[in-house]
Amino acid sequence: MYHSSNSLFELKHNRKTIVIYGFGKVGKEIIRQRNKLKGESHVKFLCVSRKKIDLRASNFCSNNFSSNIMFMALDLDCAENVKRVASLCSMIIVLIPTQNSEDNSSNKQVDSRTRLLVIELLKKDAIKKKGVYISTTGVYGNKNGNKTYETSRCIPSNNRSLRRLDAETKIRKLNFHILRVPGIYSINRLPIQRLLKKIPVLQKEEDVYTNHIHESDLARAAYLALFRGRRSRITNVVDNSDLKMSDYMDLVASATGLEKPERASFAKLNQLATKGLISNMAMSFLKDSRRVKSERLKKELRINLIYPNVQDFVNKNRKQLSTIRQQMPSR
């Protein structure tokens, strides 16, 4: 349900109110996984998004838990709105994306959206609140295929990752736990359109390592980090895959019955990008190669992954994956 004044008053005085700030696909999965976990009781969720959610299409929680969930649709770049949310939470999971460069033309390396949230939370003595911030492994930059840990130096290679690092720097003032996340996958988050468009991938000698986490495993980590995570700590949320990007694309193609992409040089892919056939964001992923690792996920957060690697996901969902091609409109 959407909030009423009485329900907001109740939230404000509930010491176990978790705000999911930037509610979307991962936020929905956090609710689903919370239902499966035997954790804190009497938890209430306030799901804050930048646009109104069609609750009829959001059948993601059991009936006996739905009364503990409320929604707000707000402009999260508006100080008054952020101030309002900051006054309601005792715990918060921050999922909002950084501002796009076109929204932040004065400085493309600064994330004013997260800075605004930090300012308002500090006014509410947020140092005492528990929080988790979802960042990206992109902050590490290019490591030339080397293993990359939470202690590895951050050298972002593009403005998008620089904004994330800026956000992390500000979030540290709140002593929140930071989760660095790679590419997220699930049945509904696979590179199907890229395969259908027959966009080439890098040839073997130029290929880059890519890192992954299943949406359900990320959701579990985000929720459990509130209760198990050390404050001011960074954890890489990655599975055990050790794949190069072309291998990942081949794996998805084989599982879904689609044609494997052809190999091409970086120069050729760059030419396709200049013609608008490949996005700048997609090209940026081809410039960074790293093998992100994490012992903290297992030892400190005590997360047993549902899908230890992408191959395991394919094996467990082979039947459903095989129907994806059948669902595609005929040409």
pLDDT 10s digits, 31-51: 999 887 765 557 889 999 988
User: Residue 141: which region, alpha, beta or left (left: phi > 0; alpha: psi -120 to 50)?
Assistant: left
Instruction: Write down the pTM of the prediction.
Output: 0.91
Under the banding of pLDDT at 50, 70 and 90, the label for residue 126 is: low
Please state whether beta strands 69-73 and 44-49 pair in parallel, antiparallel, or not at all (unpaired): parallel
User: Residue 22: which region, alpha, beta or left (left: phi > 0; alpha: psi -120 to 50)?
Assistant: left
Q: Kindly report the CATH number assigned to the domain that includes residue 179.
A: 3.40.50.720
Q: Say if 107 falls within a structural domain.
A: yes
**Amino acid identity of 41?**
S
Indicate whether 127 pLDDT > 90.
no
Say how far apart CA 39 and CA 311 lie, in whole Å.
29
pLDDT in tens, 177-227: 999 999 999 999 999 999 999 999 999 999 999 999 999 999 999 999 999
Indicate whether 325 pLDDT > 70.
yes
Closest CA to 23 of 111, 97, 126: 97
Asked if 26 and 20 count as a contact pair (C-beta separation under 8 A), the reply is: no
For residue 264, the model assigns a pLDDT of 97
For residue 184, the model assigns a pLDDT of 98
Spatial CB neighbours of 108, under 8 Å, sequence gap ≥ 6: 101, 159, 162, 163
For residue 6, the model assigns a pLDDT of 45
**Amino acid identity of 178?**
I
Spatial CB neighbours of 116, under 8 Å, sequence gap ≥ 6: 76, 77, 79, 82
For residue 129, the model assigns a pLDDT of 83
Is 30 strand, coil or helix?
helix
Q: Say if 261 falls within a structural domain.
A: no
For residue 46, the model assigns a pLDDT of 92
Q: Say if 321 falls within a structural domain.
A: no
Domain extent, residue 142, equals: 97-190+211-241+290-307
pLDDT in tens, 239-256: 999 999 999 999 999 999
Q: Say if 90 falls within a structural domain.
A: no
Indicate whether 288 pLDDT > 80.
yes
For residue 9, the model assigns a pLDDT of 45
Q: Say if 204 falls within a structural domain.
A: no
Give the count of domains, the chain: 1
Q: Say if 274 falls within a structural domain.
A: no
C-alpha distance from residue 327 to each of 204, 257, 320, 321, 330 (Å): 32, 12, 11, 10, 9
Q: Say if 152 falls within a structural domain.
A: yes
Asked if 227 and 217 count as a contact pair (C-beta separation under 8 A), the reply is: no
Q: Say if 161 falls within a structural domain.
A: yes
